[in-house]
Structure 1
Amino acid sequence: MVKLSQTVMKIGLLLLALGVGISHAASELITSIDKNPVLIGDSLIITVTIDDDVANDNFNPDQWLGDSFEVLNVRTNRRTSMVNNQFNRTTNFLVSVRAPQQPGYYRIPALSLAGVSSDPIEVKVLPLSEAEQTQQNRDAFIKVSLSDDSVYVQQQVTLVARLYLATNLQSGNIIAPQLADADIVQLGKDEESYEIIDGKRFQIFQRSYLITPQRSGQVMIRGPVFSGQISGDDSTAIFSSFATEAVTTATQDIPLEVKPIPANWQGDWVPAELVTLSAEIVSENAAVPSQIEQGQPLTLRYRLTGLGIKPEQLPTVRLPDLDGVSIYPEQPQSSSMLRNGQVIAQKTVDITIIPRQTGPLSIPEVRLPWFNTAIDKGSVTASESFSFTVTPATSLQPELPAQPEQQQPATSTATDMIPSTPPAGTDTSEATTPQHLWFILTLAFASLWLLTLGWTLFLRRKRTEQIAVAGASTTQASIPPSSAGKAWRQLQQAASANQARETLAAMRTWTERQFQTGHLNLSGLREFFADSPVATQLDYLLACQYGTKPNAWQEGRALLRALKAFRQQQPEPKASDIPELYPRNNN
């Protein structure tokens, strides 16, 4: 059964080959255009139809058209049909070109392809003065407008393109405008609306572009180009509602004057309509503190906002060097938003300061010059200034033992109890025995009380001196080696894991125990390593901890190497000669 089917198929193919002829040689080449006349700078489609299968490599539209028409793109479609037992193949080349920029008559030359030739076509190019009447007779056209025809270099200018369609859009694409040495980006989303012109209803698609020229001079912006498919009116098609036709349209080149930076301008070039700079203290408390503690970090947030400028054009805010203050800026954060068709750019930077010395501290205002494009002159924006009083760190204040409240003696003192000398002539022997005895007892009690108070004060003072000596001995010489070794192991563990906060805490503890420095805050720790390679690593660690995010620090092993070298260069601490207050009994 299978063999029989294969035999029938072979016989059918043989009969088809004998009865059907195949046409190979091209006999006709036709060229046509979709619009004539055409406006200057507008686009049109040249359709080349040849009744043969022609490869794309055999068709060179640039060489054929020369310099008069600019080739935008080329599309190809092929079709095969059978008529009267003959296979017919047709190749269509659809060439989208831009019309010349000057009005007049231009010729599309004759085309020779696959042994056949087409006829030339004469195209009339109209001036812009006839654009209004010509466009209204078209099913598709584009209008463009510039926000300003004269700008400074790096100043933004907005180009708005409005595509008018009199029929339904099936598919299409708008090619963005072009300008050498300029940044061009689409601004926002497309907008859609409708408009009736002379009784004809048009669907309008609006797209905005932001152009930032980077070079001064008189330039020409190549206008946007639309190429797509719209609903066609082909009554011969079986499904006429699905019939489409290719369409293309463009605009003429747009002139733009780009002025250079003023010769007398100094500093960063910031052309914008408005620039503001604000500063605030990053704190959980809403109130601005008047006092800050020595060695404790304080973060200031500077926010630079510009209207009509890109975020990357905004300069980075920097604080000047301040005496007795370490400054750690963060990585700036940039953002932008679109409001009422204008770009609002913002650059935010957090700067952490650590005061190293006490006293008054003034953070001056930051002043940034910028060029006001609205009034065509320079301007200056400034941030707020801050003033603080840096107080000693609480942890550095000696904690004296609390003095117990001393009982005050009775209002009458011993001297008050001594009677005045009796006047002359008074007979003292007349004093009664009980009164004389009371006086003696009172005097003795007062004397004993004074002796007891003096002895108590003497013992307390001696005890205080012994405690201070013992404390100094403990701080300077009595730290067991195992304590410093444990702190070093904790430091190694934290630094090897690149944990910024844990490393900083362990480094302070190890330094205090290893070098017997007493308590250190951040500024004290920085001063201790000031003249060594450790200072560079410590500065970077502080910048990561209080400037950028903590997990950004990746230099733990480098810090350990610097600390090991520093430790080897330091002499071993000597034991104190002061005897212990309470010697240990070795028995």
Structure 2
Amino acid sequence: MKRRSVLMKVGLWVLLACAASVQAQTRAWLDRDRIGEGDVVTLNIETDQPGAAPDYAPLQADFALGGRTSGRQTRLVNGSVSTTALFGVVLTPRRSGALQVPALRVGAARTAPLQLRVDPAPVASAGDAVAFVETEVDDPQPYVQQSVGVVVRLFFATQLASGELDLATPASASLQRVGEDRTSSRDVGGRRYNVVERRFLLIPERSGPMRLQGARFSGRGAGGLFDDLLGRGTGALSARAADQTLQVRAVPDAAPQPWLPLKDLRLRYTAAPQSAQVGQAFTLQVEATAVGATRAQFPELPVPALGDAAQVFAEPPQYDETFDGGSPRLKLTRRYSIVPQRPGPLQVPGLRLGWWDVGAAEARTAALPDLGLEVAPGTGAAAAVPAPDAPAATVAPP
């Protein structure tokens, strides 16, 4: 019985070995396993499956795909003819560090994953390189939830055929691109550079040190097309800015609520009445200008509370967002229609907003003066008192 069991196991191993010998042989390899940022590497794939081709889609997460090649090779081994297909693709890594070339499907088989080490590109000095990158932060010591302007500038002294300019999002923060790229030219170190300026908005979500990786550029200068197709990478360009560490400060205990960290806040009347009359609406318009805030961060301007002395109708606010230098700038305008309900003196309280001055590290209050008006009687009873079937006016919520 024991002998029969051993024979059955041996037979099973023989069958498995025979099955493996008839399966397609598919393998992948890189022409080198370590490169510098901005360089390219060639992925080679060999298979003996007739009509099979690799699916390169999984590569696009970490690599830009360049030139592709394919061919067939026929061999005579021990009297048997074997045909293999060879495929090649040029890969440009999208980032530095330890990368994995994922397993790829080739017909009915899959290649084994491969490891690639990409060394960071050295930080180029202004005037000494064909291309270099700068990362400028408008506040290296921001508060939690403060809007931080980040400007990335790419300098290049040659014509570009293609390229990518990236800024990684730090941990415990949000990062979004703002506006359109700006182009200009500058003389740096006696050399003329074209400049592309890109703006981002960074909002830290947690206090403590926050590492901001320098912006990175990878591309190809004009004239390097055939070299790139052959995998030599002669036309490749790469550059990166220096990393920075921001010291994010916690919300102070003495800060007004809601928390509004700004560089500056101004309020002003852009329309105010000189006179008023019972039953006749007059317009009050307020403008707020905030440096260091976006529309999503800024609270809505409140509605003046006038009790039964007047009805107040607030229109939706109008927003204008810009990027001034390295900081976001918001202008908010809101219009109020006020209908006095009785003659006599009417005082409209000025708006007040508490905010935190990030430069001076102290609480401040932006305030408008109260408006005093003498309301004249209406021209008739109907003007002073709404009709019974008219809908009651309500005060818009703040």
The answer to whether the 8 A contact 1:293-1:392 is kept is yes
Aligned to 1:185: 177
Aligned to 2:262: 272
Aligned to 2:31: 31
Q: Secondary structure at the match of 2:305?
A: coil
1:310 paired with 2:273, answer no
Aligned to 2:343: 358
Q: CA deviation at 1:204?
A: 3.6
Looking at structure 2, the residues matched to 262 and 29 of structure 1 have their Cα atoms a distance apart, in angstroms, of: 56
Q: Secondary structure at the match of 1:150?
A: coil
Looking at structure 1, the residues matched to 349 and 113 of structure 2 have their Cα atoms a distance apart, in angstroms, of: 79
1:63-78 alignment to 2 at 5 Å? 72-75=62-65, 77-78=67-68
The answer to whether the 8 A contact 2:35-2:119 is kept is no
The answer to whether the 8 A contact 2:134-2:215 is kept is no
Looking at structure 1, the residues matched to 300 and 227 of structure 2 have their Cα atoms a distance apart, in angstroms, of: 67
Aligned to 1:169: 160
The answer to whether the 8 A contact 1:269-1:370 is kept is yes
Q: Secondary structure at the match of 1:148?
A: coil
The answer to whether the 8 A contact 1:226-1:248 is kept is yes
Structure with more relative contact order (C-alpha pairs < 8 Å, separation 6 or more): 2
Aligned to 2:6: none
The answer to whether the 8 A contact 2:130-2:158 is kept is yes
C-alpha spacing 1:245/1:329, structure 2 compared with 1 (3 Å): same
Q: CA deviation at 1:313?
A: 2.5
Aligned to 1:390: 375
The answer to whether the 8 A contact 2:39-2:236 is kept is no
Aligned to 2:89: 92
C-alpha spacing 1:204/1:82, structure 2 compared with 1 (3 Å): farther
Looking at structure 2, the residues matched to 124 and 189 of structure 1 have their Cα atoms a distance apart, in angstroms, of: 29
Higher helix share: 1
1:154 paired with 2:156, answer no
- The amino acid of 1:372's aligned partner reads D
The answer to whether the 8 A contact 1:77-1:92 is kept is yes
Q: Secondary structure at the match of 1:539?
A: coil
Looking at structure 2, the residues matched to 272 and 212 of structure 1 have their Cα atoms a distance apart, in angstroms, of: 13
C-alpha spacing 1:27/1:166, structure 2 compared with 1 (3 Å): farther
C-alpha spacing 1:385/1:188, structure 2 compared with 1 (3 Å): farther
C-alpha spacing 1:357/1:159, structure 2 compared with 1 (3 Å): same
TM-score, L = length of structure 2: 0.71
User: Which of 243, 255, 260 is matched with 2:250 structurally?
Assistant: 260
Q: CA deviation at 1:331?
A: 1.2
Q: CA deviation at 1:370?
A: 1.5
- The amino acid of 2:203's aligned partner reads T
The answer to whether the 8 A contact 1:61-1:95 is kept is no
Q: CA deviation at 1:183?
A: 4.2
Q: CA deviation at 1:380?
A: 1.4
C-alpha spacing 1:225/1:294, structure 2 compared with 1 (3 Å): same
C-alpha spacing 1:46/1:138, structure 2 compared with 1 (3 Å): farther
1:115-264 alignment to 2 at 5 Å? 131-132=123-124, 139-179=130-170, 180-195=172-187, 202-232=193-223, 245-251=235-241, 253-264=243-254
- The amino acid of 2:385's aligned partner reads G
The answer to whether the 8 A contact 1:75-1:94 is kept is yes
Q: CA deviation at 1:276?
A: 0.9
Q: CA deviation at 1:30?
A: 4.3
1:557-572 alignment to 2 at 5 Å? none
RMSD (CA atoms):
4.5
Looking at structure 2, the residues matched to 118 and 200 of structure 1 have their Cα atoms a distance apart, in angstroms, of: 44
Looking at structure 1, the residues matched to 243 and 319 of structure 2 have their Cα atoms a distance apart, in angstroms, of: 34
Looking at structure 1, the residues matched to 186 and 173 of structure 2 have their Cα atoms a distance apart, in angstroms, of: 35
> 1:303-353, CA deviations, whole angstroms, 9 ceiling, x for partnerless residues?
111122223333222212334211111111111234445433111111111
C-alpha spacing 1:316/1:368, structure 2 compared with 1 (3 Å): same
> 1:127-156, CA deviations, whole angstroms, 9 ceiling, x for partnerless residues?
xxx7457x9876544332322221012222
The answer to whether the 8 A contact 2:309-2:346 is kept is no
The answer to whether the 8 A contact 1:194-1:201 is kept is yes
C-alpha spacing 1:296/1:107, structure 2 compared with 1 (3 Å): closer
Higher strand share: 2
User: Which of 516, 538, 551 is matched with 2:392 structurally?
Assistant: 538
Looking at structure 1, the residues matched to 327 and 202 of structure 2 have their Cα atoms a distance apart, in angstroms, of: 13
C-alpha spacing 1:275/1:235, structure 2 compared with 1 (3 Å): closer
Looking at structure 2, the residues matched to 140 and 34 of structure 1 have their Cα atoms a distance apart, in angstroms, of: 23
Looking at structure 1, the residues matched to 293 and 237 of structure 2 have their Cα atoms a distance apart, in angstroms, of: 36
Structure 2 unaligned regions, length at least 5? 1-23, 75-82
Looking at structure 1, the residues matched to 113 and 341 of structure 2 have their Cα atoms a distance apart, in angstroms, of: 88
Larger Rg: 1
Q: Secondary structure at the match of 1:311?
A: coil
C-alpha spacing 1:235/1:137, structure 2 compared with 1 (3 Å): farther
- The amino acid of 1:302's aligned partner reads V
C-alpha spacing 1:43/1:264, structure 2 compared with 1 (3 Å): farther
C-alpha spacing 1:166/1:234, structure 2 compared with 1 (3 Å): same
Aligned to 1:47: 42
Looking at structure 1, the residues matched to 69 and 111 of structure 2 have their Cα atoms a distance apart, in angstroms, of: 19
User: Which of 339, 349, 355 is matched with 1:370 structurally?
Assistant: 355
Aligned to 1:16: none
- The amino acid of 1:289's aligned partner reads Q
Q: CA deviation at 1:124?
A: 6.2
Looking at structure 1, the residues matched to 329 and 113 of structure 2 have their Cα atoms a distance apart, in angstroms, of: 56
Identity, % of aligned pairs?
A: 21
- The amino acid of 2:42's aligned partner reads T
- The amino acid of 1:46's aligned partner reads V
Aligned to 2:278: 294
TM-score, L = length of structure 1: 0.50
The answer to whether the 8 A contact 1:33-1:45 is kept is no
> 1:439-482, CA deviations, whole angstroms, 9 ceiling, x for partnerless residues?
xxxxxxxxxxxxxxxxxxxxxxxxxxxxxxxxxxxxxxxxxxxx
> 1:365-387, CA deviations, whole angstroms, 9 ceiling, x for partnerless residues?
22211211221211111113211
> 1:90-119, CA deviations, whole angstroms, 9 ceiling, x for partnerless residues?
32140415334xxxxx8999x999999999
- The amino acid of 2:87's aligned partner reads T
C-alpha spacing 1:156/1:117, structure 2 compared with 1 (3 Å): closer
